[in-house]
A and B are shown apart, each in its own frame.
Chain A
Amino acid sequence: GAVVSQHPSWVICKSGTSVKIECRSLDFQATTMFWYRQFPKQSLMLMATSNEGSKATYEQGVEKDKFLINHASLTLSTLTVTSAHPEDSSFYICSARDLSYGYTFGSGTRLTVV
């Protein structure tokens, strides 16, 4: 089946620094990828839709200058949390759509900002 690899699985960073999270589709091409945020014991909240070769579409209330998304190739999308603060600490999950298997999710990245 389709595999989406997400790295790193966890990261701790100091307040004010930036963190990049990578999402790769390993065995299929993904023109569209999605980034979600999940708080403890809550559902997945869509942050943005990442389109290869074009600007991402952000959901209402998501700061596009804080959460920079780049989808430079058909197999890679990155999410950069800029000037991270403790309130940005969360579980970030990417997803890619494969025409055969539907939506496949990465294993998630636990971000802790101290």
Chain B
Amino acid sequence: QQQVKQSPQSLIVQKGGISIINCAYENTAFDYFPWYQQFPGKGPALLIAIRPDVSEKKEGRFTISFNKSAKQFSLHIMDSQPGDSATYFCAARGNTPLVFGKGTRLSVIA
């Protein structure tokens, strides 16, 4: 049973555009929602995280939007750059270890 559903599976964005990745969850016990960036051959690196008492969090070009009633959260990457090309994972944690979405492979083209 997939606890966190992530979409799209892959995404191609023009340089300077906005990349949007969405995740949905069912477990209302989740209380921590991080996003990770992973480059090939490397471990995931934390980008930004949010807790359910906040509807939006912004750090630089990265923004998480959180909709508690819909049980959805999304990552927005503003002014996307070729260096942002990587795989992005959403995750969630409640009374269990982190569970991950299946990942989104982002390609930013010039």
Q: Which residues of A contact B (CB under 8 A)?
A: 4, 6, 34, 41-44, 46, 49, 91, 93, 95, 101-108, 110
Minimum Cβ distance to chain B for residue A8 (Å): 13
Known pairs A34-B98, A42-B102, A43-B102; A101 contacts B44 (CB<8 A): no
Q: B-side interface residues toward A, CB under 8 Å?
A: 32, 34, 36, 41-46, 49, 89, 93, 97-103, 105
Asked whether B89 lies within 8 Å of A43 as measured between CB atoms, the reply is yes
User: For residue B98, which residues in chain A have a CB less than 8 angstroms away from its CB?
Assistant: 34, 46, 95, 103
Q: Are A42 and B103 in contact (CB under 8 A)?
A: yes
Tell me, in angstroms, the Cα distance from A51 to B89 when the chains sit together.
25
Residues of A within 8 A of B46 (CB): 101-105
A108 lies within 8 A of B42 (CB):
yes
> Which residues on B sit within 8 Å (CB–CB) of A103?
34, 46, 93, 98
Interface CB pairs A-B, < 8 A, 19? A6-B43, A41-B103, A42-B102, A42-B103, A43-B89, A43-B100, A43-B103, A44-B44, A46-B97, A46-B98, A95-B43, A102-B46, A102-B49, A103-B46, A104-B46, A105-B43, A107-B42, A107-B43, A108-B43
- The reply to whether A110 and B43 contact each other, CB–CB distance below 8 Å, is no
**Is the pair B89, A44 in contact by a Cβ cutoff of 8 Å?**
yes
Given contacts A42-B102, A44-B100, A102-B49, contact A110 B34 (CB under 8 A): no
Question: When the two chains form their complex, are residues B44 and A105 in contact, meaning their CB atoms are under 8 A apart?
Answer: yes
